[in-house]
Structure 1
Amino acid sequence: MGIKSFQGARKHQKSEENVPLKVSDYMTRKLITFRPEQSVEEVIDALIKNRISGGPVINEKDELVGIISEGDCIKHISESRYYNMPLEKNKVEHSMVKGVKTIDGNMNIFDATQKFLNEKRRRFPIVQDGKLVGQISQKDILKATVRLKSQNWGKQ
């Protein structure tokens, strides 16, 4: 007598068409941004007050010109103390990272995950038609996976 396997009734899974998979579905749209002419001290205050680790730097046309992070601010503090320069004299444009890599808002969330792993970055700005429209962070990717799991992978 052979062994029979019974899996039971299969549950109908939601089609993947209903599951949002684009970066634009998970990106943050309300951003705290900085201007090149701001002082690094203002940025430090904003980072602490808003409990963020960095943010995009935009010009008067809302075009992305750089990004500034806690690390950039720490580097600025270290260098200004070493050379005995006052903090308030230095501007964001001298401390920010220029030539920032961005992610397309239409990119698949899983491709974005690979970009995070390959580039070793904490956040990527999203630019559309030359203007900053949002940002996706590693935390946004984690939130997306939790949301996708609840919709797609089922609960045990």
Structure 2
Amino acid sequence: MQSLKVSDYMNPQPVTFAPDMSIESAVMRLLQTGQRGGPVVDQQGQLVGFFSEQDCLATLLLETYHNEQGTKVGDCMYQGAVVTVAANASIADLAQQMTNNRPKIYPVMDDSGQLLGVITRTDILRAIKDHCQTLSPGKVSVAS
């Protein structure tokens, strides 16, 4: 399974956000795409944070309570060191990391720090399922 790489299973067209995007627009993007979050990138395409459903819940509740709007993604996104993964990383190694309650979504970066895509726990599960089916065709039955 070490031969399976993140680049083979990542989503190369992830939902992304800009720091100056309104929280309302960001929530609409999450709802329309069914994603739970995504990388926040600046105008140069550099990763500056991560925005998730969890990040905006408290903000939306507060805005609703005070009947205010105007919060930007940059105001409530996670701004710490975002955990990322390299495109050539092993699926097995990333799966092991994910078992330790790490993020559910990892931005996939190239060597120059540019965003290439994202990979989720669901993508990892699909990779493991595919690998098992290759080893034992017909023995792994996963409903689609």
Under a length normalisation based on structure 2, what TM-score does the superposition of the two structures give? 0.87
Give distance in 1, aligned partners of 2:19 and 2:136: 44
Give distance in 2, aligned partners of 1:127 and 1:104: 5
How many residues get paired? 137
Unaligned runs of 5+ in 2: 140-144
Asked if 1:93 is matched to 2:74, the reply is yes
1:74 partner amino acid: L
| C-alpha displacement of 1:127 | 1.2
Give distance in 1, aligned partners of 2:123 and 2:13: 13
Q: Could you tell me which of 45, 48, 66 is aligned with 1:65?
A: 48
2:42 partner amino acid: N
Task: Return closer, same or farther for 1:150/1:29 CA change in 2, 3 Å cut-off.
Answer: same
Deviations for 1:2-39, whole angstroms, at most 9, x for unmatched residues? xxxxxxxxxxxxxx7xx951111111101121100000
> Which one has a bigger Cα radius of gyration?
1
Give distance in 2, aligned partners of 1:85 and 1:132: 36
Q: Could you tell me which of 56, 66, 69 is aligned with 2:39?
A: 56
Deviations for 1:19-74, whole angstroms, at most 9, x for unmatched residues? 95111111110112110000000011111111111111100111111111111111
Deviations for 1:86-139, whole angstroms, at most 9, x for unmatched residues? 12x111001101121111221111110011112432111011111111111001
1:113 partner amino acid: A
User: Match of 1:137?
Assistant: 120
Q: Runs of 4 or more off by more than 6 Å in structure 1?
A: none
User: Match of 1:5?
Assistant: none
User: Match of 2:7?
Assistant: 24
Asked if 1:122 is matched to 2:104, the reply is yes
Give distance in 2, aligned partners of 1:111 and 1:72: 27
Q: Could you tell me which of 89, 93, 99 is aligned with 1:111?
A: 93
Instruction: Please state whether the residue corresponding to 2:86 is helix, strand or coil.
Output: coil
1:97 partner amino acid: Y
Percent identity of paired positions between Structure 1 and Structure 2: 32
Instruction: Please state whether the residue corresponding to 1:150 is helix, strand or coil.
Output: helix
Give distance in 1, aligned partners of 2:3 and 2:93: 14
Q: Could you tell me which of 20, 23, 26 is aligned with 1:37?
A: 20
Unaligned runs of 5+ in 1: 1-15
